[in-house]
Amino acid sequence: MPEQVEIFADAAEVAVATADRVEAVLRDASARGCECAIALSGGSTPALLFDELARRTAGGAQIPWGCARIFWGDERAVPPDHEDSNYRMARDRLLDPIGLAGDRIHRMPAERADRDEAAREYGRLLAEHLPASDGDPSWPVFDLILLGMGPDGHTASLFPNTQALEAESEIVSANYVPKFDVWRMTLTVPVLNAAREVVLMVSGESKAERIGDILGGRVPADSFPVQQIHPAGGDLRWMIDRAAAADLPMA
Ligand code: 6PG
């Protein structure tokens, strides 16, 4: 099942379905040596996922969080306590509520002035902790990468017409985003495509035109960054709500 598209009533149901995948991946890992590398995403849809996972854990769900090693798929160039920080959002809405902290949490230091060295160091960290891809040992393999998609078809911090999209040898790249005049840090396309599973959480009517373009076959396959995500040896799951799927014929 290399690529699957599922449509849900709303963003809350996308979060529930994605939380089911997080639980399943962690339980699978707990039976295979209890090492599970997960990359978290920023965005409002992933935030609902964090709330759902925190709620389940508080409610007594036996989720093997001890097997998780947490990374980020991308980060803004802001300090860890900044309101725009993807790390802060995950810490406040998931990691602190479930009591996960310490040396298995690996914040992406996108705010460092030596951004290229910081990106290289984070890439080395991934190479140290994750298995290498069978297809190409250059690429570390995540058990699960959680992603969102913007209305412009970006994912992680791989925005249209930005340098990181062209990265062929970097695991992690600093990325200047002209439309916002900001720096970001992001996993690169080859790393996303080395993953065992990628879940794309897409919700809201602002995404409908782009989803219609991409999943409705209205545009060439290389039109938007998110279209470059095709895990060669893994699964890609599009988890979409009805508002974002409004332009699809079957919606
Ligand atoms: C970020 C995210 C970004 C996000 C999308 C979708 O740092 O903002 O990595 O890729 O996932 O923009 O965000 P929404 O779910 O809020 O639309």
Please report, in tens digits, the pLDDT of each residue of the chain (251 residues total): 569 999 999 999 999 999 999 999 999 999 999 999 999 999 999 999 999 999 999 999 999 999 999 999 999 999 999 999 999 999 999 999 999 999 999 999 999 999 999 999 999 999 999 999 998 999 999 999 999 999 999 999 999 999 999 999 999 999 999 999 999 999 999 999 999 999 999 999 999 999 999 999 999 999 999 999 999 999 999 999 999 999 998 65
**Distance (Å, whole) CA 102 – CA 14:** 29
Read off the pTM.
Answer: 0.97
Q: Whose CA is nearest to atom 13 of ligand 1?
A: 43
- Using the 8-state DSSP alphabet, how is residue 164 labeled? G
Beta bridge partner(s), residue 37: 69
Q: Please give the Cα distance from 139 to 191 (Å, whole number).
A: 6
Cα separation, 174 vs 158, in Å, equals 10
Question: 202 near 43, Cβ under 8 Å?
Answer: no
42 lines ligand 1 (CB under 6 A): yes
H helices of 131-192, in order, are 189-192
Please choose, from the candidates 218, 224, 215, 229, the residue with its C-alpha nearest in 3D space to the C-alpha of residue 187. 229
For atom 1 of ligand 1, the residue with the nearest CA is: 42
Which residue has the least CA distance to atom 11 on ligand 1?
148
